[in-house]
Structure 1
Amino acid sequence: MAYILNMFKRNSLLIALVLVMIFFEVLIQSTDKGSLFSPQNFTNIIYQNSYVIILAVGMLFLIIGCGNIDLSVGSIVALIGAVAGVLMVNNEYNIYMSMAICILLGILIGAWHGFWIAYIRIPSFIVTLAGMLLFRGLALIVLDGITINPFPYEYLQLFTSFVPANRADAYATTVAVTMVIVAIYVIGVLYGRISKLKKGYEVEPLSGFLFKHLIVLAALIASSLLLAQNKGIPVILVLIAAVVIIYAFIANKTVVGRRIYALGGNEKAAKLSGVNTNRLLFLSYVNMGLLAAVAALVCVARFNSASPMAGTGYELDAIGSCFIGGASAYGGVGTVGGAVIGAIFMGVLNNGMSILGVDANWQKAVKGLVLLVAVVVDVMSKKRVTN
């Protein structure tokens, strides 16, 4: 019995996500308001949460590294979206040059935050709160308080098109791609487990290992079938996958990733071990600025407009995704996969309550309670370990 409880505890987030999906599907079906898992709605969930996932990955590295958060990412999205609109729509600049300028601006904003936090040692809450006000104000100034649209068709195609372009081939292509991904995933997880066993590392029990990965594979196959029945694989999903894979590799397989975890575990110990903690903290904020710029480009493509009020509340969704996904408020604990699952969890809550017609104010209340519960569980588990 204890073994089964431990298995469920290790995979509690995945189980909670599945249960929430089933809960909303039953409610939606019972009220004859469609289906959470209709092909069109599933694609819509991906688009709705694409920029939240990107922001959550960047936020995760801040939380892991030092328990810090960035309150300004929503305002950064608005400012960079405004700059993109002025460049591409008003001045008709080359879309690739405009995107490069936006990415560079995001990096500079991240460096601005990183300088004050890492080297001057001003608390991150103060710096990013100031940034939230500053960049929102600059977005209003750049756009003169109005919304700019439409964006060039070529730019929209970079983020809103599907693979393959021909809808008639969508089903066959999506299934073929899924088969390749499933094969790579199975080979990868088996190789990783066998490699750990050969090196004498501790691994999770076989039943828990199979339970977790079978859920992932089932979700992957079911998702691909839904996409295949709609228009195929959204290009934005390819971008999200690339971001998640790259940052998961950095977190788990590189020296920088190990140092970030060490920084969050104990900054003084990491510094005494030879880690340049100031530079690492600085680069974490630079990275956050970079990903905020990417999220901004995705956001304006989805809405086909640049608005001075864009990005409102995005910082809260990104932070909530990380904590719901298992990141510790104290730093040093968290995974990219957990942050992605947390973002999907938030997305399902948003989408499910919207379909059911739940008032927007109640939606915020529910998300606030979910976030509070996630942090309380983290704090209480830390106290049990300490005691």
Structure 2
Amino acid sequence: MTLIDKLEDSEQAEDIVAKAAAAKPAGALKTVRNSLRGNVRQYGMIVALVAITLLFQILTTLQLSDGVSLLTPLNVTNVILQNGYILVLAIGMMLVIINGHIDLSVGSVCALVGALTGIAIVQWHVPWPLVVPAGLVLGAIIGAWQGYWIAYVKIPSFIVTLGGMLLFRGLAQLFLKGQSIGPFPQGFIKIAGGYLPNWLPIQALVFDGFSHGIVVRLKTGELHGPTLLLGFAAIAALVWSQLRVRQRRRSYGMPAGPRSLFIARMVALGVLIGAFSFVLASYSGLPVIGLILVVLIVAYSFVMNRAVIGRRIYAVGGNEKAAALSGVNTKRNTFWVFVNMGVLAALAGIIFAARLGAATPKAGQNFELDAIAAAFVGGASASGGIGTVVGAIVGALVMGVMNNGMSMLGVGSDWQLVIKGLVLLAAVAFDVYNKKRATG
């Protein structure tokens, strides 16, 4: 080989190395971009929730009196208490929508179960610890009634649940005879208004709100130890579960995404959970309804992500015919989804009655719209097969924070409806846009 040939070979090698070096960062950037795009549906609404919260925090701090703002410990607790029943309904509605259906009757079911609960406790003097499980059984029967017509008779869920909305609302008014029933015993009321006992008080700096928009104020006081422990446990469980998901994807040869992006995501979510726990611990701790929600979120997330029934719900919602051909009993699957919705609607009705301290025939009005909006804002697809339990919770919190923030700022109820309608439309439009982009 001549000297000229060697020089030409070395120049070609240098060109190859230079092109590879240039392609490596481009490939890494593409991987990060694809990972971000793949997580838009999962984490986009969390970012939106944080942004909306910060916006209302700044506005309320600047426009209201000193010490009054959205993120004060008292107001954060109130957001949970005020929206607890909607959060419960949103979980059940998310499963119904993933399965490819809709339920317009949940508000009326809440009213009927709340009415019968009030009658049993106040007029029949049945102990409330017996009435609560009986109310959940009643909700399951109502869900089975509607699920039968939808799954086995093949009547569209819109028609069946629209009829149920009228039927159960009428029954609630008949049983209550147009009057409210109360009061309830304190033990029952604590379901919606009580707090976990502070068996581990911690003397430390506690959160005392904000000043000048986002300047944190602290004071010496007593933290609610059990709430902090639950917050640390939630962070540990989140990291552990996401690490398992990442390892499982690698074992199957699937892309797991850049490690730096994974670490950043875990840190961000951990900070959010920790800050939320600290704010609650600075007041009276985690409410009882908050503990109920934690149990529901963990249980339903496990079912939808790990259990066979969860995969079947996704399969039926994605393509019912293909699911049937693969051996899934689609009728039974749909039936049990509506039984589950009935149980959660009954639970929401009991929580709402406990919060009011009375059973009223007008309970549950527009609850179905709030639950449906929470599911769609939280990432559910109108065509079924897509959505998460955590997404439903985030969607409900988005609507709840907006309601609370606008009420604090004195925004009229008419404008609140306009803004919530636009938010719902934007969420569905975002879903359609993502589908079109995915299909090219």
TM-score, length of structure 1 as denominator length? 0.95
Q: Which residue of 2 aligns with 1:173?
A: 226
Measured on the aligned residues, the alpha-carbon RMSD in Å equals: 1.8
Q: Which residue identity is paired with 1:209? A: F
Q: Structure 1 residue 166: deviation in Å?
A: 6.4
Q: Structure 1 residue 4: deviation in Å?
A: 5.1
Q: Aligned equivalents of 2:110 and 2:136: distance in 1?
A: 11
Q: Structure 1 residue 157: deviation in Å?
A: 2.7
Q: Which residue of 2 aligns with 1:346?
A: 399
Q: Which residue identity is paired with 1:16? A: A
For the 8 Å contact 2:80–2:290, the answer to whether it is kept is yes
Are 1:307 and 2:360 counterparts? yes
Matches within 5 A, 1:111-130: 111-130=144-163
Find 1:223's aligned residue among 273, 276, 282. 276
Kindly provide the CA deviation profile for residues 230-253 of structure 1, in whole angstroms up to 9, marking residues without a partner as x. Answer: 111111111001111111111010
Find 1:164's aligned residue among 197, 200, 205. 197
Q: Which residue of 2 aligns with 1:41?
A: 75
Q: Which runs of 5+ in 1 are unaligned?
A: none
Q: Which residue identity is paired with 1:99? A: V
Structure 1 stretch displaced more, 76-85 or 372-381: 372-381
Q: Aligned equivalents of 2:87 and 2:293: distance in 1?
A: 7
Q: Aligned equivalents of 1:157 and 1:12: distance in 2?
A: 35
Q: Which residue of 2 aligns with 1:137?
A: 170
Find 1:7's aligned residue among 26, 33, 36. 36
Matches within 5 A, 1:24-173: 24-33=56-65, 34-66=68-100, 68-165=101-198, 170-173=223-226
For the 8 Å contact 2:200–2:226, the answer to whether it is kept is no
Q: Which secondary structure state, in structure 1, belongs to the residue aligned with residue 47 of structure 2? A: helix
Q: Which residue of 2 aligns with 1:18?
A: 50
Are 1:251 and 2:280 counterparts? no
- Over 3 Å counting, the alpha-carbon distance change for 1:281 and 1:19 in structure 2 is same
Q: Aligned equivalents of 1:284 and 1:191: distance in 2?
A: 28
Q: Structure 1 residue 171: deviation in Å?
A: 2.5
Q: Which residue of 2 aligns with 1:198?
A: 251
Which of 1 and 2 has greater Rg?
Answer: 2
Q: Which secondary structure state, in structure 1, belongs to the residue aligned with residue 99 of structure 2? A: helix
For the 8 Å contact 2:142–2:342, the answer to whether it is kept is yes
Q: Structure 1 residue 201: deviation in Å?
A: 2.9
For the 8 Å contact 1:167–1:231, the answer to whether it is kept is no
Higher normalized helix content (fraction of residues) = 1
For the 8 Å contact 1:167–1:232, the answer to whether it is kept is no
Q: Which residue identity is paired with 2:36? A: M
How many residues are treated as equivalent by the alignment?
386
Q: Which runs of 5+ in 2 are unaligned?
A: 1-28, 203-222
**Which protein has greater RCO, CA pairs closer than 8 Å, 6+ apart?**
1
For the 8 Å contact 2:121–2:131, the answer to whether it is kept is yes
Q: Aligned equivalents of 1:207 and 1:320: distance in 2?
A: 34
4+ long deviations beyond 4 Å: 165-170
Q: Which residue identity is paired with 1:117? A: I
Q: Aligned equivalents of 1:81 and 1:29: distance in 2?
A: 37
Q: Structure 1 residue 172: deviation in Å?
A: 3.0
Q: Which residue of 1 aligns with 2:377?
A: 324
Q: Aligned equivalents of 1:384 and 1:225: distance in 2?
A: 40
Q: Which residue of 2 aligns with 1:367?
A: 420
Q: Structure 1 residue 162: deviation in Å?
A: 1.2
Q: Aligned equivalents of 1:349 and 1:275: distance in 2?
A: 40
Q: Which residue identity is paired with 1:13? A: M
Q: Which residue identity is paired with 1:135? A: F
Q: Aligned equivalents of 1:37 and 1:134: distance in 2?
A: 41
